[in-house]
């Protein structure tokens, strides 16, 4: 899966409501959260530092006691914010700029 496909799937799965959009945006944009993880519906956003992120799906198999990360992408903060804002505008979650 190439990087554009990962971003597309992430946006489709995670930027689906105003509430999720705001929570994800705030996590990414916050200078008070230097690193950490945001668990979305299917994808995890791993904040490496204030400007670098890794996005990946996490498949957990409790019966087998393991997890899989089938693919991931690293992305810069400004590019990630641009992508989620475009998706939010396309889905009418975020009002278009005048």
Q: With H, G, I as helix, E, B as strand and everything else as coil, classify residue 53.
A: strand
Number of domains observed in the structure of the chain? 1
C-beta separation of 45 from 37 below 8 A? yes
Whether 12 maps to a domain, the answer reads: yes
Is 97 contained in some domain? Answer: no
59 or 55, higher pLDDT: 55
**pLDDT tens sequence across 62-94:** 888 888 999 999 999 999 999 999 999 998 777
**Residue 96 within a domain:** no
Structural domain containing residue 48: 3-90
Average pLDDT of the chain is 92
Distances (CA, A) of 69 to 10, 16, 18, 19, 32: 14, 22, 27, 26, 27
pLDDT of residue 44: 97
In a domain, residue 23? The reply is yes
**Helices 18-29 and 77-90: crossing angle, nearest 10°?**
170
pLDDT at 6: 93
Q: Which residue has the tokens 């944009």?
A: 29
């Amino acid at each position: 899966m190439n990087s554009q496909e990962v971003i597309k799937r992430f946006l489709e799965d995670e930027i689906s409501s105003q509430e999720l959009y705001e929570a994800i945006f705030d996590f990414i944009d916050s200078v008070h959260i230097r690193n950490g993880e945001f668990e979305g519906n299917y994808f995890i956003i791993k904040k490496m530092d204030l400007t670098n992120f890794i996005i990946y799906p996490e498949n957990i198999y409790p019966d087998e006691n393991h997890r899989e990360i089938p693919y991931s992408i690293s992305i810069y903060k400004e590019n990630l914010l641009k992508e989620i804002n475009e998706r939010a505008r396309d889905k009418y979650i975020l009002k278009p700029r005048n």
